[in-house]
Amino acid sequence: PAPSSYPLCIEIRADSASYLIQFSKEEDKSKWVRALSVHCLVMSKSSANRSTSG
């Protein structure tokens, strides 16, 4: 799935698995993105689009 199609979701990839996590509020999603960014590579939908099109 493309997270950009699901505005309250984030996609987490680990090895060959991919997980789509849905949030009920933008605030909750933002908190998780900030927390995960300390430990993980975080790509925005615009940077993901550039990396897959090249």
Does 49 reside within a domain? no
Q: What is the pTM of this model?
A: 0.60
How many domains, in total, are found in the chain?
1
Whole-number pLDDT of residue 31: 93
User: Is 17 in a helix, a strand, or coil?
Assistant: strand
Q: Is residue 48 part of a domain?
A: no
The amino acid sitting at 35 is A
Least confident residue range of 7-11, 33-37, 48-52: 48-52
Domain span at residue 14? 3-42
Q: In terms of pLDDT, which residue wins out, 39 or 15?
A: 15
**What is the enclosing helix (H) or strand (E) of 14?**
strand 9-14
As given in the structure block, the two tokens for residue 34 are 């900030």
Task: Please give the share of the chain, as a percent, with pLDDT higher than 70.
Answer: 67
Beta-carbon contacts of 1 under 8 Å, excluding residues fewer than 6 positions away, are 9, 11, 20
| Residue 12 included in any domain | yes
Residue 53 lies in a domain: no
